[in-house]
Amino acid sequence: MKRSLPELQHSAQPLVMVTAYDYPGGRHAEAAGVDLILVGDSLGNVVLGYDSTAPVTLGDMIHHARAVRRGAPGTFMVVDLPFGTYHTGVQDAMRNAVRVIQETGADAIKMEGASPEILGVVQTLTRNGIPVMGHVGLMPQTATAQGGLKVQGKDDASARATLEGAVALEAAGAFALVLEVIPARLARLISERLSIPTIGIGAGVGCGGQVLVTHDLLGVYEGEEKKIAKRYAEVGQISREAIERYAAEVRAREFPAKDNSFVMKDEVLDRLY
């Protein structure tokens, strides 16, 4: 049964969130019993082959989120608003958020940042009944402006800005907050300061929950080791080896075998000659 927003916010156990981008990903996540599924714009990197999340469109997000929802009808689903869909004003953000909710069956949307403009968007959406998950720390959509994909909040100014941004997002109405790639002690401080759940990725064990990109935890891409992730399987290696065995059997005429083929009566075949 899908957990309600109040249940998630008052969970006695750390919240478990994973990403999903398609029907099988949604099915697997729901079967595993996760608390939340994030249809992240990281699909640009791990599914669509882009080198950043910036090219991901609203149409991409809606297409993939609809597939995830079909696979996971009973799990709380959060969908990222991609770059450029909430930066051009409150009206555009509202219009795009409504599209996501209506067309995908999402339970909430997520957006990055805590600028005055973003806070205004969060406030407007939440006042109009759209749950918003915030995001501070490393923000992949605008990572170039942050100096690249690196740890945030290590110096006084950056740490204070991250803390103040988190506090402001809660005040604006965010129901939860992703803390990405910040020092563990800062993440714990923020988590203690807020009354809403924090969900960490590369932010230590002191958060109210954790999220990982499914492709990272499954080891879909061989040779990609990330400090913020743990590989719980080697699906990439298993997949490659399976395809190699298939190719070898086809070339040796070992597949399809008799068990994979269909038969017909001899007299039917004889009449064809």
Catalytic residues: 180
Peptide bond into 256 cis (omega under 30): yes
At 101, which helix (H) or strand (E)? helix 90-104
At 32, which helix (H) or strand (E)? helix 23-32
Q: Please give the single-letter amino acid code of residue 94.
A: M
Tell me how far apart the alpha carbons of residues 27 and 152 are, in angstroms, rounded to a whole number: 34
Is 42 marked as binding a ligand?
yes
- What token pair was written down for 142? 């605008």
At 37, which helix (H) or strand (E)? strand 36-39
Is 80 marked as binding a ligand?
yes
Please say whether the beta carbons of 164 and 190 come within 8 A: no
Q: Which phi and psi angles does 176 have, rounded to 5°? A: -165, 170
Which residues are known binding-site members for 3-methyl-2-oxobutanoate? Answer: 41-42, 80, 110
Which residues are known binding-site members for Mg(2+)? Answer: 41, 80, 112
